[in-house]
Structure 1
Amino acid sequence: MKFTTNLAALALAGLASAQYDQASKPFQLVLQSKDKTVNGQKLAACHVGAAIESLCLTETASPSKPDPIKPVAFRFNTSSNAGGEPPAWGILTYDLPAQPVIPSSVEFWIDPIANFALPLLYPGSGSGSQSLVFDEKDLLAVQGYVDYSVNPPKAGNTTEFYRWYACPTYYAGYQYPALTWALGEGKPETPGCAKVDVKRVFV
């Protein structure tokens, strides 16, 4: 669905103060790819720090995860105050098993020397949570309304972007094959990355 520039800007500005109080039914995230080694794999939550998890692939071995692990259930939280037309902005959430359970949401962590962002699950759903959408095919996307490929950059209609890759990753000493987000149109520079779409499958 396309929005005018002013409406899109207002909606994006409102995300900072939105309360994501509407949780979806649980679902798994399944990768779709032309690369047969990752196609059909599901995502799990892999430990990378105190109550911090990366979105790792369940079947691919790595130094920090030598054996297959089970996928986990995620939810998509939207705001009851958001209004507007679908697809609705929201945040990807996960309940980290602990005593008590730790609600977590995805934020994009960026290393300034890399050309991709690493989606990580951090405790809570604060202002750093990455706003995302699921399209009509249940594919996960990031929306934007500025075209940075022209000079000067031009604001226009809201567009869905699908710059997901499965890559070998390194964070705080942990090494996992995990979901990443390319910063720009180019492929992440790390060898072994595979282009993927991320599909929501309700459980």
Structure 2
Amino acid sequence: MKTSTTIIALAAATTTLAQYTNQSAPFKLQIKSENETLNGNYLYACHEGAAIEGLCPANAINLGSAGASTYNFNTSASTTSAVGVLTYLLQGSNFAVSEPFALSYTPSTNVAVPLFYPDTTYTEVGFDADNKLFIEAYVDDTVTPLKDGLDKAKDYYRWVVCETYAGYDYYTLAWVMGKAPAQNPSCQAVDVVREFVKA
């Protein structure tokens, strides 16, 4: 029964990505940080549950850079927007599915955990000219009255690495919700940079 549920969920995830038909070449994601322990680490897809992966720094469990996973960036053919869906190819003995990236929220914290789910939800992201990962928004609610429908989207870089729990207790990539500092005292600010895999 559990296997059947997983297969149905995997099929749903494939349908979700149907509009994002332009797929990039594979790449790794590297952390840039003032913290020398984190700086230069690559992110690998770490197990958070059945067909659910988080993003852990490779050295978090002593895998080193060899533990880096590869990802793809999928954009829509029907738009000129620079945003799209970050995906991870989950492979098993009898399936391979491109899982979309989505932020997982808990009401008690302002730190969200990025996860790859076999689901129909996703969080759009983008990469700037320096290959840095961002999330954009067209609304600024830090002023009154709020500014909606901004002429140009604002790019946010609120990535952190923290001790999180989204199925397992790991140090993972996370996202700070809103302008305030992360309430989780283990969080350290980082940038996430795309590095294409050399052929």
| TM-score of the two chains, using structure 2 as the length reference | 0.84
Per the alignment, residue 162 of structure 1 pairs with 157
Per the alignment, residue 13 of structure 2 pairs with none
Q: Deviations over 1:155-175 (max 9, x none)?
A: 223111000001111123x01
After TM superposition, give the deviation of residue 28 of structure 1 in Å: 0.2
Give the root-mean-square deviation of aligned CA atoms. Answer: 1.7
After TM superposition, give the deviation of residue 145 of structure 1 in Å: 1.4
Q: AA paired with 1:169?
A: T
CA contact (8 A) 1:21 1:77 kept: yes
Q: Deviations over 1:39-92 (max 9, x none)?
A: 11110111111100001111024xxxxx426110000000111135xxx11000
**Counterpart check, 1:89 vs 2:86:** no
Per the alignment, residue 146 of structure 2 pairs with 153
Going from structure 1 to structure 2, the CA distance change for 1:17 and 1:38 (only over 3 Å counts) comes to: closer
How many pairs align?
177
2: distance between equivalents of 1:179 and 1:107?
A: 12
Q: AA paired with 1:148?
A: D
1: distance between equivalents of 2:111 and 2:53?
A: 17
Q: AA paired with 1:191?
A: P
| TM-score of the two chains, using structure 1 as the length reference | 0.82
Q: Deviations over 1:95-149 (max 9, x none)?
A: 012121122010111000011111100115x3x2101110111000001111111
CA contact (8 A) 1:18 1:81 kept: no
After TM superposition, give the deviation of residue 17 of structure 1 in Å: 9.5
Per the alignment, residue 12 of structure 2 pairs with none
Instruction: Describe the SS at the equivalent of 1:46.
Output: strand
**Counterpart check, 1:74 vs 2:74:** no
Instruction: Describe the SS at the equivalent of 1:59.
Output: helix
Instruction: Describe the SS at the equivalent of 1:123.
Output: coil
Moved segments of 4+, more than 3 Å? none
Per the alignment, residue 191 of structure 2 pairs with 197
Q: With CA pairs under 8 Å and 6+ residues apart, which has the higher RCO, 1 or 2?
A: 1
More helix by share: 2
Unaligned stretches of 5+ residues in structure 1 = 1-15, 62-66
2: distance between equivalents of 1:187 and 1:176?
A: 20
Q: AA paired with 1:179?
A: L
CA contact (8 A) 1:108 1:120 kept: yes
State the percentage of identical aligned residues.
38
Spell out the pairing of 1:94-109 with structure 2 (5 A cutoff).
94-98=88-92, 99-109=94-104
Per the alignment, residue 172 of structure 2 pairs with 178
